[in-house]
Amino acid sequence: MATKLAPTRGNLVKITRSMEMAQSGHDLLDQKRQVLMMELVRFIDSAKTIQKDVERIFKEAYDALQKANISLGIDTVEDISEAVPITTDITVRLHSVMGVEIPDVDPLSDKTVPSYSFYGSSGAMDAAYSKFRKVMVLLAQLAEIETSVYRLAVQIRKTHRRVNALEKVVIPSNRADIRFISDVLEEGEREDFTRMKMAQKKTKK
């Protein structure tokens, strides 16, 4: 595609500077993409581990709940569960990784605090309560990791598009413009040199 700029030395300087900035931006974005990819891989590995733990603890928790339902009855288990307080002390902080806001959930304790009377309950109910508390702790960790993975993936996709735009559109276009203007200027210099030589020959005659 031919350049729309006039083939002047001033425009050549401008395009050369633009080319240098585009190349520098490309290199920085490529580094950012690599750092984000490393973070993404790390979070994905953690997510796989926690997902396995969640699956295992969930099964154990439902097994314990089933035993509690059998020993106490579903209605009694529901009544006891009403006494368990809703967890509201979940603190989420944010830290930046190459401009991406990544959440940090403060670790929750998996220890259970007695919130219902032991009278009318059973060891099966205590076991179910304890297991589901561990499920909540793991789900908080999993939510942190999955949110981080999503945000990193979105930013990686955006960065990849920008890198491709610079690599395949902006930089090649600048190179073509520089080549075109340089060729025109060189041709002009050759013509001027030729005219000067011819003028010198005429003056000698």
Question: 89-101: per-residue pLDDT in tens?
Answer: 788 889 888 889 9
Q: Which of these ranges, 41-45, 48-52, 87-91, 164-168, has the smallest mean pLDDT?
A: 87-91
Selection from 3, 69, 51, 18 nearest residue 171 by Cα: 18
> CB within 8 A of 12, min separation 6: which ones?
178, 181, 182, 185
Whole-angstrom Cα distance, residue 7 to residue 178?
9
Which position has the higher pLDDT, 81 or 115? 81
**Domain boundaries 25-172, CATH class:** mainly alpha
Residue 205 has pLDDT above 60, yes or no: no
Whole-angstrom Cα distance, residue 78 to residue 66?
12
Instruction: Say what the pLDDT of residue 1 is.
Output: 45
Q: Tell me the average pLDDT across 138-162.
A: 92
pTM of the model: 0.74
Residue 112's pLDDT band, with cuts at 50, 70 and 90, is: confident
DSSP labels, 62-127: HHHHHHHHHHH-HHHHHHHHTTSPPP----EEEEEETTEEEEEEPPPP-PPPP-S-STT--HHHHH
Amino acid identity at 169: V
The ranges assigned to domains in the chain are 25-172
Q: pLDDT by residue (tens digit) across 152-175?
A: 999 999 999 999 999 999 999 998
Q: Percent of the chain having pLDDT more than 90? A: 30
Residue 2 has pLDDT above 80, yes or no: no
> CB within 8 A of 140, min separation 6: which ones?
90, 105, 108
Residue 85 has pLDDT above 90, yes or no: no
Cα–Cα distances in Å, from 136 out to 35, 37, 192? 31, 29, 81
